[in-house]
Amino acid sequence: MYRILKACNLASNIFLMDVEARRVAAACEPGQFVIVRIDERGERIPLTICDYDREKGTVTIVVQTIGASTTRMQELKAGDSFLDFVGPLGKPSEFINEDISKLRDKKILFVGGGLGTAPVYPQVKWLHEHGIDADVIVGAKTKDLVILEDEMKAVAGNLYITTDDGSYERKGMVTEVIKYLVNEQGNKYDVCVAIGPMIMMKFVCLLTKELGIPTIVSMNPIMVDGTGMCGACRLLVGGEVKFACVDGPEFDGHLVDFDQAMKRQSIYKTEEGRAMLRQQEGDTHHGGCGKCS
């Protein structure tokens, strides 16, 4: 069992938990994720790692209530436990293995949309701890949905917040802030890391391709087992079949087929849709999720 040490709300239907998971905390790096299960009847829920403390043996997760399992999870309190807390899964962020002296010469821009702010935070924090300050854009629908603002301010070189309705800081999409920083402020970025809803990442990538900024995205399609066996998180990247859970979750954003990914995610939700995908995708469909028979 994995004990919950802290549980608190960050915003409407978004909550944070610190979980005692020593083996996961000892091995995880920014960019990776875990799969959590409340009990034997619970759904397997993939969640990106928001933070970790190796000394305390804790891993921080941020969850949005969407379905029955995440609603049950929100009801848990400090002292309760998860049955499963599996990880770290996926590959760490690419910069973890880069030469630090070369990394310090790079100008890096992070873009977090909505819940995507949570997986952006450990990457920016890791860079800050290694003497590298990155620019960060955080986007949310409204002021009430902005999360981890104070934490991000403590580690970002510059933090820019924008809301769709203009209720806090700037008004507009994250792409407008990118245009402002590049075209009006004259910033030249060596790389952009964008994490958030697929539609947001798609339009960020369209813009950064136009601006000539290499871009990394963290893909969040439907996952079941997190080990590449089920095929639920199948993507097309540069025309090649990839699986977000083992080949990613980070990919070259300019090579990701976002339209196919969003369409597939919608189709996969129904039994008829999964049957159609199985027929279309053949051997690369996998089908190990057990939902396609």
Alpha helices in the chain (DSSP H): 22-27, 68-74, 100-103, 117-129, 149-155, 174-179, 198-211, 244-247, 258-267, 271-281
Question: Crossing angle for the helix pair 198-211 and 258-267, nearest 10 degrees?
Answer: 170
Question: Token digits for 206?
Answer: 């369209």
Q: What percent of the chain has pLDDT over 90?
A: 68
Does residue 108 register a pLDDT over 70?
yes
pLDDT tier at 223, thresholds 50, 70, 90: low
Q: Among 172, 198, 218, where does a domain finish?
A: 218
Residues 184, 210 within the same domain: yes
Distance CA 118, CA 140 (A): 12
pTM across the whole model: 0.87
Please give the residue range of the domain that contains residue 61: 2-89
**Does residue 276 belong to any structural domain of this protein?**
yes
pLDDT category, 272, cuts 50, 70, 90?
Answer: very low
Phi, psi dihedrals of residue 52, rounded to the nearest 5°: -160, 155
The string of pLDDT tens digits covering residues 153-188 is 999 999 999 999 999 889 999 999 999 999 999 999
pLDDT for residue 279: 47
For residue 234, the model assigns a pLDDT of 81
pLDDT of residue 226: 67
Q: How many domains does the chain have?
A: 3
Establish if 137 belongs to a structural domain: yes
- The strand pair at 135-140 and 158-163 is best described as parallel
Cα pseudo-dihedral 221, 14, 208, 237, rounded to 10: -10
269 pLDDT tier (thresholds 50, 70, 90)? very low
The domain that holds 47 is classified in CATH as 2.40.30.10
pLDDT reported for residue 12 = 85
